[in-house]
C-alpha cells in the first residue's frame, strides 16, 4: 500500500540505497483480540386501523459489557421517526411499552416527547397506529482489530530526517448472527471509521516527507 502511495505522490521507490535520496523503514503491527459487546434493540408489533400490519425491529446502542450506560438512550426518538417514515399517512398513535427482557429508564422518560417530535399525536382511545414495544438485548462476539504504524526516514549514511508513530486505526468485526434490522448499524461510518483511519496514515506521513526532502524524490524501501 505504501509503495503505491509514494508513487502517486510523485516519489520514486528504488531498491538500492545508492540510488536513493532517503531511506524509509518501518513496520505495521496488527493485533486482534476477542471481546463481547451488548446490543440493545426494540421488537415492535404494529396494528394499523385495527388490522395487524407489521412486526418490526429497531437497533438501540452498542456497548461493552462493562459499560453501565443505558442501551436505549435516544432510541425512542429514532424508532418513532423511522415508524413515521414507514407510515407517513398515520397521524395518531398509541404506544404500549410492554414488559420485556430489558428495562430502560431513559426510553420510558423520553417516549412521550419523542412521539411529539416524530410528528405523531398521542391518542388515548382509537388511533391510526397501535404499537406494542418490548426492549431486548443480545451479547455479540467481537474481533477487535487494532493497527499501529511506525515509520522512520533518514538520509543515506544515517542522518535522521523524520518519523511517524501511532495508532493507525481500530475497528470491531462482528462474529455470528445479529438481528437483520441491525445490519445497517454496522455498515455506517461510525463503526467503519477505524478502517478509514488506517488508509489515512500514508497521506499524513507523505506530507512530513515532502517537508523533510524538499525537491528530492527517490526513496529506498528495504523491502521494496
Which position has the grid cell 470491531? 172
For the chain, which residues make up each domain, given as ranges? 2-33+142-220, 36-139
| CATH code at 36-139 | 3.30.2300
Amino acid 135: pLDDT: 94
Give the separation between CA 78 and CA 176, rounded to whole angstroms.
26
Amino acid 53: pLDDT: 83
Give the separation between CA 80 and CA 165, rounded to whole angstroms.
45
Tens digits of pLDDT across the chain (224 residues): 566 667 777 888 888 888 888 888 877 787 888 888 888 899 999 999 888 888 888 988 888 888 778 999 999 999 999 999 999 999 999 999 998 888 899 999 999 999 999 999 999 889 999 999 999 988 888 888 887 778 788 887 788 887 777 666 677 777 665 666 676 666 554 455 555 665 666 677 777 778 888 888 888 876 54
DSSP string, 146-172: EEEEEEEEEETTS-EEEEEEEEEEEEE
Instruction: For helices 201-213 and 189-199, give the axis angle rounded to 10 degrees.
Output: 30
Could you tell me the CA-to-CA distances from 19 to 59, 153, 159, 217 in Å, in that order?
57, 15, 16, 11
Give the separation between CA 159 and CA 26, rounded to whole angstroms.
16
Amino acid 105: pLDDT: 92
Amino acid 90: pLDDT: 95
Contacts of residue 209, defined as CB under 8 A and 6 or more positions apart, other chains included, come to 9, 11, 22, 24, 153, 162, 219
Amino acid 189: pLDDT: 43
Taking the alpha carbons of 120, 125, 129, 135 in that order, is the dihedral positive or negative?
positive
Question: Hey, what CATH class is 2-33+142-220 in?
Answer: alpha beta
Q: Do the domains spanning 2-33+142-220 and 36-139 agree at the CATH topology level?
A: no
- Decide if 35 contacts 144 (C-beta within 8 A): yes
The count of C-alpha atoms lying within 13 angstroms of the C-alpha of 10, restricted to the half-sphere facing its C-beta, is 9
Q: Count of residues for the chain? A: 224
Nearest to 146 by CA among 122, 124, 164, 172: 172
Amino acid 76: pLDDT: 95
Residue 134 CA, chain-centre distance (Å), reads: 26
What does the DSSP 8-state code read for residue 11?
A: -
Amino acid 224: pLDDT: 45
Amino acid at each position: 500500500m505504501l509503495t503505491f502511495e509514494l508513487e502517486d505522490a510523485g516519489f520514486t521507490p528504488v531498491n538500492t540505497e545508492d540510488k536513493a535520496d532517503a531511506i524509509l523503514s518501518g513496520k505495521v503491527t496488527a493485533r486482534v483480540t476477542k471481546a463481547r459487546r451488548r446490543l440493545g434493540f426494540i421488537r415492535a408489533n404494529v396494528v394499523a386501523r385495527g388490522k395487524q400490519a407489521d412486526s418490526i425491529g429497531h437497533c438501540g446502542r452498542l456497548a461493552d459489557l462493562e459499560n453501565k450506560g443505558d442501551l436505549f438512550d435516544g432510541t425512542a426518538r429514532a424508532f418513532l421517526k423511522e415508524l413515521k417514515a414507514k407510515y407517513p399517512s398515520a397521524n395518531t398513535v398509541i404506544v404500549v411499552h410492554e414488559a420485556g427482557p430489558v428495562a430502560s429508564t431513559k426510553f420510558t422518560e423520553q417516549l412521550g416527547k419523542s412521539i411529539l417530535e416524530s410528528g405523531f399525536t398521542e391518542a388515548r382511545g382509537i388511533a391510526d397506529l397501535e404499537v406494542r414495544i418490548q426492549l431486548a438485548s443480545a451479547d455479540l462476539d467481537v474481533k477487535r482489530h487494532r493497527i499501529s504504524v511506525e515509520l522512520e526516514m533518514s538520509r543515506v549514511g544515517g542522518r535522521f530526517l523524520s518519523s511517524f508513530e501511532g495508532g493507525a486505526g481500530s475497528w470491531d468485526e462482528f462474529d455470528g448472527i445479529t438481528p437483520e434490522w441491525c445490519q445497517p448499524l454496522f455498515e455506517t461510518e461510525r463503526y467503519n471509521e477505524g478502517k478509514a483511519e488506517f488508509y489515512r496514515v500514508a497521506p499524513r506521513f507523505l506530507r512530513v516527507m515532502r517537508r523533510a526532502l524538499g525537491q528530492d524524490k527517490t526513496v529506498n524501501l528495504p523491502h521494496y
